[in-house]
Structure 1
């Protein structure tokens, strides 16, 4: 059994996280409003902290029917989620190899983000007509292991601008073990926000999640589809946008596999009644054998 210790959304892809200490709604698309917006450059390519680490200091917050963005030395910008200021024309967006649609949030938002990031860019929200699904080749290896534990309706898995799957789970014990290597290198321990998880949990030994098929509670089940491969983004300090060398060096020394450098598990919902997740909630663990 695991216990949820933290729930986080990233309303704007690659910008700061929003914590949900009182719980958050969950659906096949992910946690409510997670990565519902994306910043794109002049060529329409999505922008991330990999190239633009200053995105970490942009702090979005969605509450009471509004989204508000904050950044150092900038006035807050806020608008209604229902406000009809968006251009309804669909804008093609490619997230790695997956094509989806966004709609432009307008010139005021574009100017605000362009000023913060010091480069021309636009802010897009998931378009109402967007239909993006988890790629079948990502799900099939899990189905081969599941042996009937849960079925997957791949066509129900529409989600917004997350990289590959709508949920990311991370294990606090794994970070604690990784931080031992970070400290041995002379650096300070890194917080879990470096890994930009949706669900942080405790209750398993370090890296035991590598062997987990999924987790569940009455009315809800998540499939742990695949480990999350890691680029240098965890080296970005999520409070300042500054780039260091850890935990990248520690990951390279301890978590190299054929698939790449791994930390955390990407997941999808395979069963759910309408509900919310809460910190302190317990989930049963199903292992792959």
Structure 2
């Protein structure tokens, strides 16, 4: 009894100290987390270029590159071609998800080879390059951009494969000067939605993939988000707060969060979507990446997300400008980019 009594009296303060210590650790951990969030601890000074992508025809399948030349319009050959309807307005996977199954080769001085996914019924077609000739104004969102029509043969090929009349393939004219929205800095782009480069991170796509899977959705690849520069070495969605990436010869200011439509809900291998709104992918983005939610957590772009018109939009990736030190700048997979916060 004496031994038990002595053990109890000795143990009680010992366990009390342990519990008190654990409480202190928990409190310290919470404080550390808050400081990390607000002061930027654990923000990487560098990230690695994990992959590079170019999409010669807007809305069609892209190419993974080991290295890429940069121009004021972004990665060389990116979205220099575009499919338009009979009103000369661009079409995309939003309306025609089968565009995902058009797999053009990289452009050459001879032109661009049109191909489709294996198993699809359409013969390859070489479209000779046309850079001269009558310019036509084509519409990309609110911009009317000079372009050169690439001929009747490819027009028939597109209309047949995509099952809609009146489609044409155009190439951006050499005279084009399509400026980006001046609210976000000075830049130019070709037929991209609005900015020359889209940056995403591996940690972010991993996080979305897990959430979509947990929601019973499909396996989500980065191809659904169509980035140009995909980086690794940062935490999930840390690119949201990055001000710029710098590589030898080029700076990439990350100026505007990228709002997403229903394209991430389209399976890029089959050209189909489960529902008109993209199913589990769009639902997951809305639950975790809506403007309404981002306004609560964002720092760098808090004012942007706080605009009421953005409340129901969903966001993934960052639009970037291209500031070149000189022409001929190339970047490669494996390059290290310095991060400015």
**Is the TM-score greater than 0.5?**
yes
In the other structure, the counterpart of 2:332 is: 278
Alpha-carbon deviation of 1:63?
5.0
Structure 1's unaligned 5+ residue stretches are 140-153
Contact kept? 1:224, 1:267, Cα under 8 Å: yes
Counterparts of 2:179 and 2:82, CA distance in 1: 17
In the other structure, the counterpart of 1:144 is: none
Counterparts of 1:102 and 1:122, CA distance in 2: 11
Structure 2's unaligned 5+ residue stretches are 1-45, 292-304
Question: After superposition, where does 1:262-277 map in structure 2 within 5 Å?
Answer: 262-273=315-326, 274-277=328-331
Q: In structure 2, do the counterparts of structure 1 residues 272 and 193 end up closer, same or farther at CA, with 3 Å as the change threshold?
A: farther
Give the structure with the higher percent strand.
1
Does residue 192 of structure 1 match 2:222? yes
Does residue 126 of structure 1 match 2:172? yes
Question: After superposition, where does 1:39-188 map in structure 2 within 5 Å?
Answer: 39-62=83-106, 64-65=108-109, 66-71=111-116, 72-81=120-129, 84=130, 88-120=133-165, 121-139=167-185, 154=186, 157-188=187-218
In the other structure, the counterpart of 1:13 is: 58
Give the structure with the higher percent helix.
2
RMSD (CA atoms) = 1.4
RCO (CA 8 Å, sep 6+): is it higher in 1 or 2?
1
Counterparts of 1:240 and 1:189, CA distance in 2: 13
Q: Which has the larger radius of gyration?
A: 2
Counterparts of 1:246 and 1:280, CA distance in 2: 33
Q: TM-score, normalised by structure 1?
A: 0.89
Counterparts of 1:239 and 1:160, CA distance in 2: 26
Alpha-carbon deviation of 1:188?
3.1
Runs of 4+ aligned structure 1 residues displaced above 6 Å come to: none
In the other structure, the counterpart of 1:2 is: 47
Q: When the two structures are aligned, how many residues end up with a matched partner? A: 267
